[in-house]
Amino acid sequence: MSDGLTIISGTAVAETVLGELRHEIDALRARGRTPGLAVVLVGDNPASRSYVRAKDRMCQKIGLHSLKLELPATTTQQELVEVVQRLNADPAIHGILVQSPPPPHIDEAAIIRAMDPAKDVDGFHPVNVGKLAIGDPTGFVPCTPLGCQRLLVEAGVETAGAHVVMLGRSMLVGKPFALLMLGKGKGGNATVTVAHSRTRNLRETLLSADILVAAIGQPRFVKAEDVHEGAVVIDVGINQIEDPATEKGYRLVGDVDYANVAPKAAAITPVPGGVGPMTIAMLMSNTVKACRLAA
């Protein structure tokens, strides 16, 4: 194993973030303003319902106003747009999140565009994507890549001048994380390569990374031979694999073959307990920011 391997605990860093937020929330409440988050769930997807409950619990834990709206799977596109518009106009709500994925008949992109960009705490509205691209700090960055950047900063990883390889090109993680790493300031100034399933010589590209971030949605895709000695590895993936030895019959693994990659890495995130806790923490952070920026 490489000397001084650092296991980057998302659970620990998330607690640090939430501790900072509690102080800011207390200060806002002292001025008569309580940050409010509305989470909208359409249908009864069990995983989505679990995520919504977790977000609601976190709001209550740190003192945010939480509004949970559970709508039937038969909700029409227009009905959902009207719900979003009502939330846009509600001064007690600073952040709006429509839980993904919605039922197939819902045009998710259109729902995002119907949102007030100043309340889009998921950071998916075209206005916020544009603000990220031009480095406007008043925009909102998607929570998972923002959490990944915070993990690197908290772990003391130097990103300036480093070669970052982002494995995955989604709007959820890959593209916004690449923009974050290219940005100026702390946790940025990196040289970035975005790799994906169509990248030629993919394995060689991964091997060239000083910092490798995996978000490709394939269990244990990144192997030991893909990572050079002393690299930093951030595993965004969360995949269920069968495991009859466990009570549930499955267990969670990342997009990185952790057991074999960790001995070569200087620092690595586990799954679970790595990026996952940071996503909810940064959602809370974006909601507090929205309240702070609200007129």
Amino acid type, 192: V
Q: Which residue is catalytic, options 119, 120, 122, 210?
A: 122
Residue entry with tokens 């952040």? 95
Answer yes or no: are the C-beta atoms of 25 and 63 closer than 8 Å: yes
pLDDT in tens, 206-245: 999 999 999 999 999 999 999 999 999 999 999 999 999 9
- pLDDT value of residue 295: 61
Q: What is the dihedral of CA 51, 52, 58, 64, to 10 degrees?
A: 150
Distance from chain centroid for Cα 98: 15
295 residues of the chain, pLDDT tens digit each: 445 799 999 999 999 999 999 999 999 999 999 999 999 999 998 888 888 999 999 999 999 999 999 999 999 999 999 999 999 999 999 999 999 999 999 999 999 999 999 999 999 999 999 999 999 999 999 999 999 999 999 999 999 999 999 999 999 999 999 999 999 999 999 999 999 999 999 999 999 999 999 999 999 999 999 999 999 999 999 999 999 999 889 999 999 999 999 999 999 999 999 999 999 999 999 999 999 999 6
Q: Which residue is catalytic, options 55, 119, 131, 289?
A: 55
- pLDDT value of residue 2: 47
55 noted as active-site residue: yes
**Biggest CA-to-CA distance, the chain:** 57
Interacting residues of 289 by C-beta distance below 8 A, sequence separation 6+: 140
Q: Which residue is catalytic, options 99, 119, 257, 289?
A: 99
Cβ atoms within 10 Å of 67's Cβ, excluding its own: 18
99 noted as active-site residue: yes
Answer yes or no: are the C-beta atoms of 256 and 214 closer than 8 Å: yes
Q: Residue 191: exposed, middle, or buried by beta-carbon count in 10 A (0-12, 13-18, 19+)? A: middle
Answer yes or no: are the C-beta atoms of 161 and 189 closer than 8 Å: yes
77 noted as active-site residue: no
Mean pLDDT (the chain) is: 96
pLDDT in tens, 250-271: 999 999 999 999 999 999 999 9
d(CA 187, CA 184): 8
- pLDDT value of residue 47: 85
- pLDDT value of residue 209: 98
- pLDDT value of residue 46: 87
